[in-house]
């Protein structure tokens, strides 16, 4: 039973999606701000020392990113799901409750991170201050909250599919992916005093979320987005989604092995991890071909220009960030020297931006089109182009600077110096490393400016448009 | 593994995969715009991709397993653009014919 709405009307789920998007964007700002503070502390280690240490800024920088991307994905699903299934999302009140709970929990965790920061190595710290595991430092109560919110999210999706009486390929992929998403997070809550085992399961969250379940989740959101943005037929979109799931899971799951090289796991992980990781860029190259085809078929013109450009940037960004920067350091022979250097954040910055930030911005621009001026045949502004270019230059600049610094560490500290303390100091004081850190900060400021331009554009796009839809269509 | 070996493997690896991406992009662009010159230009990147692979395979840095893997990847990259182009256009033609 479908409940299609007239143009200009929103489902309750879509209204909720907007809340998700705005909170996500605010946390995006927090990510940039704390990242800049941490970048400055590389240049001036005494800055805010004892008040807001590097470890806290870095933790907030990374945790803000994980949470805002997650919120953006959830917003994307809440936005597109009713359009996909032609009905309101089931359990919308529960979904709202989950949203406010999640936002309140994030607020409390951030305050604890800022005001308490750390504690003794006991259960109290683990439960209420920080779990201490890199990237997923949230205290245990927040971990449980995240799983509960993901369970509600999963219920919303599954119940809506069941109630709608139709199961599309995209919805099916989404449901199975969300089960994996919620389940895998629990692997990060497993405690063992054996550090190798601890790392083994910790990577299930960090790698399998990012390089498997998130990839598929974003693939599902982009599939729904492309049907509305480009009018791509469902059969094509779903075939591509199945192909992507096969390729991403085929290479991404055992690609996990590239994190198992040096944590005390058996030696066969060198071969397994290296083999699958080396194949990971292949589907990303294939996506480039499809992106060029789609862009060319529509002559870079569509109903929503910013969404189109961010969607195309997604295919290219995913390839460059995950494919090129990933492959460069994924073979164990190289990784022995490069892991843990600035090459890792260079890869991380480009890959997260290319694969995920672009996709969420695509969804947000599409949502704003429907909210502000669904009657306009083309949703456009001048400012988004500035935000787009500045942001791409900013992220590439930061990544290039970190690549130079990481290369210096790999060579001077590891390959030439043999990882001695003296070699560490030599690498840290090497002009290539130091200049890399300076340029990382400079491009970080650049990125902050682009973020502000982006926010201004998102806040204003479509609002000043007074021309009638017919007039815009006639001129264009 | 010497420091030169680490440097060479990293740089040739970067060249191999980035050239594979440019090859795919220019090949698809040439076919899209029906410009044979752009398609021919894309083959330059196919060559660079192969050179990147050779740069990893020919020196004695890697064991045979890794050399086979790089060779296999490089061969796949050579045919991904053509294969994907065929898949994409065939899909769309069939869909529009329905």
CB A220 within 8 A of CB A79: no
Lowest mean pLDDT among A23-27, A76-80, A265-269, A399-403: A265-269
**pLDDT score of A190:** 79
Highest mean pLDDT pick, A313-322, A465-474, B35-44: B35-44
**pLDDT score of A279:** 85
Question: B residues 61-90 near A, CB within 8 Å?
Answer: 61-62, 65-66, 69-70, 73, 76-77, 80-81, 84-85, 88-89
For residue A327, list chain B residues with Cβ-Cβ distance below 8 A: 13-14, 16-17
**pLDDT score of A469:** 53
The residue among A289, A298, A321 with the most chain B CBs within 10 A of its CB, best to mutate, is A289
Residue B75: band (very low, low, confident or very high) from pLDDT cuts 50, 70, 90: very high
CB contact under 8 A, B14 and A324: yes
- How confident is the model over A366-386, as pLDDT tens digits? 999 999 988 888 888 999 999
**A194 Cβ contact partners less than 8 Å away, ≥ 6 residues apart:** none
**How close does chain B come to A352, measured CA to CA in Å?**
18
For residue A258, list chain B residues with Cβ-Cβ distance below 8 A: none
**pLDDT score of A476:** 39
> By CA distance, what is A234's nearest residue in B?
B95
A219 burial level (CB within 10 Å; 0-12, 13-18, 19+): buried
**pLDDT score of A1:** 44
Domain ranges of chain A: 1-167, 280-461
CB contact under 8 A, B61 and A333: yes
- How confident is the model over A95-120, as pLDDT tens digits? 999 999 999 999 999 999 999 988 99
For residues A338 and A463, the model is more confident at A338
Give mean pLDDT, residues A320-340. Answer: 91
Rg (CA), chain B: 16
Task: Write the residue in A319, A323, A415 that is nearest to B6 by C-beta.
Answer: A415
Domain ranges of chain B: 3-97
**pLDDT score of B98:** 65
On the question of a common fold for A1-167 and A280-461, the answer reads yes
3-state SS record for A104-163: HHHHHHHHHHHHCCCCCCCHHHHHHCCCCCCCCCCCHHHHHHHHHHHHHHHHHHHHHHHH
CB contact under 8 A, B28 and A281: no
Residue A30: band (very low, low, confident or very high) from pLDDT cuts 50, 70, 90: very high
Average model confidence (pLDDT) across chain A: 90
Q: What is the CATH number of domain A280-461?
A: 1.20.210.10
**pLDDT score of A66:** 93
Average model confidence (pLDDT) across chain B: 92
Whole-prediction pTM value? 0.92
pLDDT over 70, % of chain A: 96
Region of A135 (left: φ > 0; alpha: ψ -120 to 50; beta: rest) is: left
Segment holding A326, helix H or strand E: helix A325-327
CB contact under 8 A, B85 and A293: yes
CB B27 within 8 A of CB B80: no
Task: Write the residue in A279, A285, A329 that is nearest to B24 by C-beta.
Answer: A285
In this structure, whether the domain defined by A1-167 belongs to CATH 1.20.58.1000 is answered with: no
The residue among B2, B10, B85 with the most chain A CBs within 10 A of its CB, best to mutate, is B10
**pLDDT score of A68:** 96
CB contact under 8 A, A331 and B9: yes
CB contact under 8 A, B69 and A296: no
Residue A67: band (very low, low, confident or very high) from pLDDT cuts 50, 70, 90: very high
> By CA distance, what is B88's nearest residue in A?
A290
**pLDDT score of A471:** 53
Residue A8: band (very low, low, confident or very high) from pLDDT cuts 50, 70, 90: low
CB A324 within 8 A of CB B21: yes
Residue A430: band (very low, low, confident or very high) from pLDDT cuts 50, 70, 90: very high
C-alpha to C-alpha distance for A86 and A227, rounded to whole angstroms? 14
**A14 Cβ contact partners less than 8 Å away, ≥ 6 residues apart:** A78, A79, A82, A367, A370
**How close does chain A come to B12, measured CA to CA in Å?**
8
The residue among A231, A276, A292 with the most chain B CBs within 10 A of its CB, best to mutate, is A292
C-alpha to C-alpha distance for A274 and A23, rounded to whole angstroms? 38
CB contact under 8 A, A296 and B33: yes
């Amino acid at each position: 039973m479908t409940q299609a709405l007239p143009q200009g009307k929103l489902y309750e789920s879509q209204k909720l999606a907007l809340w998700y998007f705005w909170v996500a964007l605010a946390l995006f700002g927090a990510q940039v701000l704390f990242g800049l503070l941490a970048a400055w502390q590389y240049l001036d280690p005494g800055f805010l020392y004892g008040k807001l240490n590097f470890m806290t800024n870095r933790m907030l920088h990374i945790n803000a990113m994980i949470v805002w991307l997650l919120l953006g994905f959830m917003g994307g699903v809440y936005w597109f799901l009713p359009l996909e299934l032609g009905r309101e999302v089931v359990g919308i009140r529960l979904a709202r409750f989950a949203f406010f709970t999640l936002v309140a929990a994030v607020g409390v965790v951030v305050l604890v991170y800022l005001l308490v920061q750390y504690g003794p190595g006991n259960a109290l710290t683990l439960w209420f201050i920080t779990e201490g595991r890199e990237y997923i430092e949230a205290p245990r109560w927040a971990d449980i909250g995240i799983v509960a919110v993901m369970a509600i999210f999963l219920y919303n999706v599954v119940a809506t599919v069941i109630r709608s009486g139709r199961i599309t390929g995209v919805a099916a992929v989404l449901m199975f992916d969300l089960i994996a998403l919620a389940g895998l997070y629990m692997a990060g809550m497993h405690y063992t005093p054996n550090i190798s085992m601890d790392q083994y399961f910790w990577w299930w969250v960090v790698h399998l979320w990012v390089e498997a379940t998130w990839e598929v989740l974003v693939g599902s959101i982009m599939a729904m987005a492309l049907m509305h943005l480009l009018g791509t037929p469902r059969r094509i979109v779903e075939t591509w989604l199945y192909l992507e799931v096969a390729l991403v899971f085929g290479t991404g799951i055992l690609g996990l092995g590239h994190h198992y090289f040096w944590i005390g796991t058996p030696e066969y992980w060198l071969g397994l991890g290296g083999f699958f990781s080396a194949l990971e860029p292949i589907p990303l190259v294939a996506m480039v071909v499809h992106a060029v085809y789609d862009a060319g078929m529509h002559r870079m013109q569509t109903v929503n220009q910013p969404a189109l450009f961010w969607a195309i940037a997604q295919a290219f960004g995913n390839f460059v960030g995950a494919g090129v920067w990933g492959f460069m350091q994924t073979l164990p022979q190289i990784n022995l020297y490069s892991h843990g250097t600035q090459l890792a954040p260079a890869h991380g910055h480009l890959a997260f931006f290319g694969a995920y930030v672009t996709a969420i911005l695509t969804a947000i621009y599409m949502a704003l089109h429907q909210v502000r001026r669904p009657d306009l045949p083309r949703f456009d502004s001048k400012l988004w182009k500035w935000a787009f270019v500045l942001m791409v230059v900013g992220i590439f600049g930061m990544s290039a600077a970190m690549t130079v610094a990481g290369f210096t560490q790999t060579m001077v500290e590891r390959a030439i110096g043999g990882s001695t303390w003296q070699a560490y100091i030599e690498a840290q004081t090497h002009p290539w490393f130091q200049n890399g850190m300076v340029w990382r900060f400079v491009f970080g400021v650049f990125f902050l400016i682009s973020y502000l331009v982006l926010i201004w554009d998102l806040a204003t796009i479509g609002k000043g448009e007074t021309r009638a839809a017919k007039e815009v269509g006639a001129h264009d | 593994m010497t420091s030169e070996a680490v440097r060479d493997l990293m740089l040739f690896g970067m060249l191999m995969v980035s050239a594979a991406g440019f090859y795919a992009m220019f090949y698809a662009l040439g076919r899209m715009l029906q410009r044979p010159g752009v398609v021919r230009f894309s083959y330059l990147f196919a060559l660079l991709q192969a050179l990147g692979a050779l740069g990893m395979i020919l020196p004695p840095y890697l064991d045979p397993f890794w050399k086979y893997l790089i060779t296999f990847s490089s061969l796949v990259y050579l045919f991904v653009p053509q294969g994907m182009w065929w898949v994409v256009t065939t899909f769309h033609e069939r869909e529009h014919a329905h």
